[in-house]
A = this chain, B = another copy of it.
Amino acid sequence: MSHFGDRLIEEGRRKRTALVVGLDPDLRFIPEAIRQGADPETGEGAEEAIFAFNRVVIDAVAEHVVAVKPQLAYYEIYGASGITALERTIRYARSKGLLVLNDAKRGDIGPTSAAYARAFLGDGPIAGDMVTVNPFLGSDGYMPFIETAEAAGKGVFVLLKTSNPSSGELQDLKLDGGGMLYMKLAEELERLAARSIGLHGYSCVGAVVGGTYPEEARAIRTALKSAIFLVPGYGAQGGSADSLRPFFDARGEGAIVSSSRAILYAYRNVGEHWSSLSEAEISRAIGEEASRAKDAINAVRGLRSQ
């Protein structure tokens, strides 16, 4: 079994990309050619429409991304129909050779976290290759994910400094004795990440560090050298390519950058007639935006477009 940190770095080298595309299917924004009458309110037809959209997205972005990142909320809305669409999406992405990162942000008491770890990193129907984890419950809450990942050759990204505007309310709290909460978490994560460093210098334990907070990323990197960063917030959330520099190491590695809405719904830039675009037009808009995002990120990493 290959080491997951190595596997992720090598996949990025092979495909010459650090981009991850989020799969956040929102029926309201899916053109009729793909939606086929599915109803955003009742969920009637949701399974087929979500899977059809994700298949178009996966086909359009596959050559540009290191992984796809389903966001669980958008599937849970429709209950078992949504989760069936997720199962089909994961199988389809894997059939295209893509890694799958479930953006679930789970975290619970020990036995429950072990059950979540099995759901997302085991071999069941919604398991992928990586999962995001919330550290609010302390080590009981995240260790079952890390231990499962280590044993299964998979990856975990622990939330450290999230991309949203209010992330500082809790994560930036100044602690007695000095330092911010996220830096304390970073130091703790380094201890855990360092248990399993691969040939390329990175662990199977990664960290979520928002692309909207480059200064914080610089500080976190000084304490947390062994973790690959998952960097959300690029694109629709306002993070720019230039601000991504501090997230990467000197080789231009050590981070994967996630974009969801800016790529998924790129075709909405054409104006109000987006809902009547053909599948080919939708696919082209998504593929071109993914290619642009990949190139912009590669330029910051010091890689030229090919």
Contact = CB atoms under 8 A, between A and B. Distances in A.
A216 interface: no
A116 B175 contact: no
B174 A112 contact: no
Given A73-B106, A125-B79, A173-B173, A140 B164 contact: yes
Nearest to A166: B138
A132 B28 CA distance: 27
Contacts of A112: 24, 71, 73-74
A107 interface: yes
A224 interface: no
B138 A169 contact: yes
A292 to B, nearest CB: 23
A204 to B, nearest CB: 21
A79 B83 contact: yes
A76 interface: yes
B139 A169 contact: yes
Interface residues of A, number: 64
Given A106-B105, A141-B164, A77 B136 contact: no
A291 interface: no
Interface string A166-182: 11111101111110010
B78 A109 contact: no
A95 B122 CA distance: 34
Contact of A134 (B136, B168, B173): B136
A198 to B, nearest CB: 27
Interface in A235-291: 237
5 contacts: A26-B115, A73-B119, A109-B162, A109-B232, A140-B166
For the complex of A and B, list the 10 residue pairs with the smallest distance between their C-beta atoms, beginning with the closest: A79-B125, A138-B166, A138-B169, A73-B115, A174-B176, A140-B166, A109-B164, A80-B84, A76-B119, A80-B83
